[in-house]
Amino acid sequence: MIKKALKIFGVLVILLIITIISLPLLFGGTIKDKIRYLANQHVNAKVDFTDVDISLIRSFPQASVIIDELSIINFAPFEGDTLAYAKKISLDMSINELFKDASEPISVQKFIIDEANIVIKTDSIGNSNFDITKTSEKTEVTPEEEGSSFTFELDHYEINNSKLLYKDDVGKIALLMTNVNHSGDGSLSGENILLDTKSSSEVSFSLDNTEYLNKNALKLDAELELDLENQRYAFKENKAFVNQLPLEFEGFVQLFEKYTDVDLSFKTPSSDFKNFLAVIPEVYAKNLDGVQTTGDFSVKGTIKGKADDTYIPKMDIKIISNNASFKYPDLPKSVQNITIDTQIKNDTGLADDTYINIGNLTFRIDQDTFAAKGSLRNITTNMIVDMAVNGTLNLANLDKAYPMQLEQELNGILKANVNTNFDMQSLEKEQYQNVKSSGTASLDSFTYASPELPNEIKIKKASVSFKPQTITLDKMQVTTGKSDLTAEGTINNLMGFLFSKQDLKGNFDVNSEVFAVDDFMVAENESSEGQTKNTEKEALKIPSFLDATLNFNAEKVIYDNLELRKTKGSVKINDETAYLQNVTSNLFDGGLAFNGKVSTKSKTPNFGMNLDLSKIDIAKSFSSLELLQGLAPIAKALTGALNTQINLNGNLNNDLTPVLNSLKGNALAEILDAQVSTAQTPLLSKLDSQLNFLDLDKLSLKDLKTSLSFDDGKINVKPFDFDIKGIKITAGGSHSFDMNMNYNVSLDVPAKYLGNEIGGLISQLNEREASEMKVALPIGISGNFSNPKINLNTKQAVTQLTQQIINKQKEKAKDKILDKGTGVLTDLLGGSNKDKDSTKTTTDEPEDKLKDAAKDILGGFLGKKKKKDTTGTKN
């Protein structure tokens, strides 16, 4: 009997297990159908989810339903936008709910939402993305339709690690809540509900583009009484924390058809001054344990009244502190004599009438006292600022009294006595005549160091005067590394720069004894992956916020290996572009003048300039400037002076040096007077060794002009002519910045330079004929400048010279040209005038005889070792 009972019990257990496992499979479709039914009946949006999982074990004896990745996607006018997304939604309900039809309501006792992201938006014309409820054509809703969804009889709910964004383009309101965690316990089954809730979040809030909260921590432990019938929500025994500031508040919010009634009051639970430090986010205020404070600090306020499209609740919020102090335990200095008297108030219920009054704000560190007072009015539309500050601050003491996180240590003495009155609209419209400022401010002994700068920047003295419409930089003395600067000028819109995000506009005169560009270059950053290190310079950028003109005068400017003397000019900076105008300087024993621009606005910085170099030393300039070396590599073999005008544009490297292969433009060069040293370049050295009649080392170039153009890394030299000791030379061609070249040179060589090399043939010419007769010697030059290839076209030169001599002799001999012998000249003219029917066979063709004649004529003047006389000159 016992065995039988055990068997029956075992069968029941097995059946129960099978039932628990199979029920989710049997009824999962019901829940899925219910969700889809609810969406189709009530929501004008696309509702989707990846899966629905049902379990009778997870929350036994209740059923557990988990919906994975639920999303609600808007239709027009917000088509494609995600209104809501939840990674997981968990619902607990009675098992009986699983047996209901898709059209019947399902009652839920508990729900948990994890990692939700909700975006609520209203566009500029008033459309709201959360208005997705389907409108019914019926005027009445039947009880069956009203209940055909989920109903809630909750005793617990949670929203975990979620995010909410509310953005209203009409009211210019933006509220962002991140790390939202909220939970509630109580009964939600009746009309009057009492909930015990806990909430925490990080809140950012802005109104009309003014940011009032930025990731401020907010905690709320609230007991809520909800009167659903009258839509009245009351707060009882509530405690909130704004950052670390505790607040107690009470009151209610009640919703009516056309307005909302608000009646809230709040205050700090104590008047300890530590409450003031608690207002500041903990990341900045640090741990308040052990902080010694004296004096009081209190926040007390009321928000009461109706809120609708016209009015906001009236408010009166007071922030008060008297003769307070604080000292952090790990810091050497304290802040004393703190007085705060601030009020936020609205007496009319009109948003434009809200104002902030700073009756007094003072503090002291050591012997330095700082005070401010003023008001902010009309803050929701055209805010009017009326402020006065007066005091002295040793900036180095700030982080010795307060735990500030600074990238650089503060230092220097700041003094200010300034009054200012302006409205934000005048700043935005640059109506600076409406900005009324007066007073002075100064900064002494200030230093600034950064990993991005090789040296400290030291400001010995900087003083500013405020006048009704202008701000004058009276004097600023700066040194860094080898450089010194003294500046003065005017700032047109300091308030617009500080408060309205405008570019800083002004005009300045800058003087310097020594200005070393390297003192302002960005330091190199090293990054390593494994054992490989890559070192690269960050891109230099022209500040985007500057709209200023600088007139400069520097006795000496040092840039890389260049030293410019007496440099003058102006720089106009605007839109991340520097325009250089009328710049002059002394360089390479000559003069420099240029206009141009440098822009870092695009991803690849670029430049354009007109450069004029006058009477500069060739050797110094071509050994120092990479650009000139690329334009004319052969110039390194010259000593003397030249003029050049260069117009070019192209891209820049990160350190603002030219990318040579990107250059486009043209140049005109004029050699005023120069000597040649062939040993300085393989090209001239090799050419000199192949020309017997010229000693290039003894040549002097004077008034030689040439023009160049360059594009895509190629320099084109327009053919130009010059004369060296009676030899006309024509040269032209191209080369690239990687030193590959392709040039053609032609020399018109006078016959008199050939001397005895052509034997007796030249003797048949008189002195005048020998002087006037010339031969063209073409030379092809290729390869690169370090390893040139030279091709002397001797065949063409031989042909031309021989033919000239023949033609000259033809003119002389005329009808007497017949020769009894078999001389070369007669043969070249077609042989003897004897009977052409002679049977004698001639084996030598005219071309062969021409070559033989060429050997006799040119002898060794090309290619043979040079013959130098005892005086060291060539023939």
**Concatenated DSSP letters of 352-416:** GG-EEEEEEEEEEETTEEEEEEEEEESTTSS-EEEEEEEEEEEGGGHHHHS----SS---SEEEE
DSSP-derived 3-state class of residue 573: strand
AA identity, residue 783: G
Higher pLDDT pick, 827 / 680: 680
pLDDT at 21: 40
Higher pLDDT pick, 553 / 686: 553
Banded pLDDT at 819 (limits 50, 70, 90): very low
AA identity, residue 328: Y
pLDDT at 153: 65
pLDDT at 522: 55
Question: Residues 62-110: pLDDT tens digits?
Answer: 778 888 888 888 888 888 888 888 899 888 877 776 666 656 666 777 8
In a 13 Å sphere around the CA of 45, the CA atoms on its Cβ side amount to 23
Extract the runs of DSSP E, i.e. beta strands, from 652-740. 664-676, 700-711, 714-724, 727-736
* HEC assignment per residue over 43-60: ECEEEECCEEEEECCCCC
In angstroms, what CA-CA distances link 245 with 251, 252, 273, 617? 20, 22, 11, 73
Banded pLDDT at 29 (limits 50, 70, 90): low
User: Taking the chain, what is the end-to-end CA distance rounded to the nearest angstrom?
Assistant: 142
pLDDT at 284: 67
Q: Which residues pair with 223 in a beta bridge?
A: 196, 236
Does 852 have pLDDT greater than 70?
no
AA identity, residue 309: D
Higher pLDDT pick, 515 / 161: 161
DSSP-derived 3-state class of residue 858: helix
Does 151 have pLDDT greater than 90?
no
**Alpha-carbon gap, residue 298 to 321, rounded angstroms:** 7
Read off the pLDDT of each residue in 752-773 and give the average, rounded to a whole number. 61
pLDDT at 114: 92
Banded pLDDT at 392 (limits 50, 70, 90): very high
High-pLDDT (> 90) share of the chain, %: 13
Does 387 have pLDDT greater than 70?
yes
Long-range contacts of 477-480 (CB under 8 A, 24+ apart): 480/453, 480/455, 480/456, 480/519, 480/520
Averaged pLDDT of the chain: 77
Percent helix, strand and coil across the chain, each to the nearest 5 = 20, 50, 25
Question: Residues 606-640: pLDDT tens digits?
Answer: 999 898 988 888 777 777 777 777 777 777 767 77
Could you give the angle at which helices 794-813 and 846-858 cross, rounded to 10 degrees?
A: 100
**Alpha-carbon gap, residue 482 to 445, rounded angstroms:** 18
Lowest mean pLDDT, pick from 189-193, 346-350, 583-587, 830-834: 830-834
* Structure token pair of residue 377: 């009015």
Report whether the peptide linkage leading into residue 77 is cis, meaning its omega lies within 30 degrees of zero.
yes
Q: Which alpha helices (H) appear in 80-208, and where do they start and end?
A: 143-146
pLDDT at 375: 92
pLDDT at 247: 86
Banded pLDDT at 152 (limits 50, 70, 90): low
**Alpha-carbon gap, residue 199 to 218, rounded angstroms:** 8
* Backbone angles phi and psi of 493, in degrees to 5: -145, 55
Are the beta carbons of 302 and 264 closer than 8 angstroms? yes
Are the beta carbons of 118 and 151 closer than 8 angstroms? no
Length of the chain: 875
AA identity, residue 37: Y
* Structure token pair of residue 240: 């909130």
The residue behind tokens 């306020």 is: 301
Are the beta carbons of 736 and 785 closer than 8 angstroms? no
In angstroms, what CA-CA distances link 7 with 11, 83, 236, 663? 6, 56, 59, 96
* Dihedral Cα 767, 771, 775, 779, nearest 10 deg: 140
Question: Residues 268-310: pLDDT tens digits?
Answer: 888 788 888 877 766 666 777 888 989 888 889 999 999 887 8
Question: Residues 668-723: pLDDT tens digits?
Answer: 888 877 777 777 778 777 777 777 777 777 776 778 888 888 887 788 888 988 77
873: left (phi over 0), alpha (psi -120 to 50) or beta: beta
AA identity, residue 546: L
Question: What stretch of H or E contains 274?
Answer: helix 274-279
Banded pLDDT at 160 (limits 50, 70, 90): very high
Does 378 have pLDDT greater than 80?
yes
Lowest mean pLDDT, pick from 113-127, 708-722, 833-847: 833-847
**Concatenated DSSP letters of 135-160:** PPS-SS--HHHHTSSEEEEEEEEEEE
- What per-residue string of b and e applies to 303-314 under the rule 16 or more CB within 10 Å gives b? bebbeeeeebbb
Does 837 have pLDDT greater than 70?
no
pLDDT at 188: 59
Question: Residues 396-449: pLDDT tens digits?
Answer: 898 889 887 776 778 899 999 999 888 888 877 777 778 888 999 998 998 887
pLDDT at 764: 64
In terms of average pLDDT, the best of 143-157, 585-599, 838-852 is 585-599
pLDDT at 817: 45
Which residues have CB under 8 Å from 476's CB, separation 6+?
459, 461, 462, 463, 485, 486, 487, 488
Does 256 have pLDDT greater than 60?
yes
pLDDT at 303: 92
* Structure token pair of residue 512: 């310097």
Higher pLDDT pick, 460 / 209: 460
Are the beta carbons of 245 and 286 closer than 8 angstroms? no
Banded pLDDT at 389 (limits 50, 70, 90): very high
High-pLDDT (> 70) share of the chain, %: 75
* Pairing between β-strand 106-122 and β-strand 150-168 as defined by DSSP bridges: parallel
Does 393 have pLDDT greater than 80?
yes
Rg (the chain; Cα; Å): 47
Closest C-alpha to 282, from 196, 403, 116:
403
Does 791 have pLDDT greater than 60?
yes
pLDDT at 221: 87
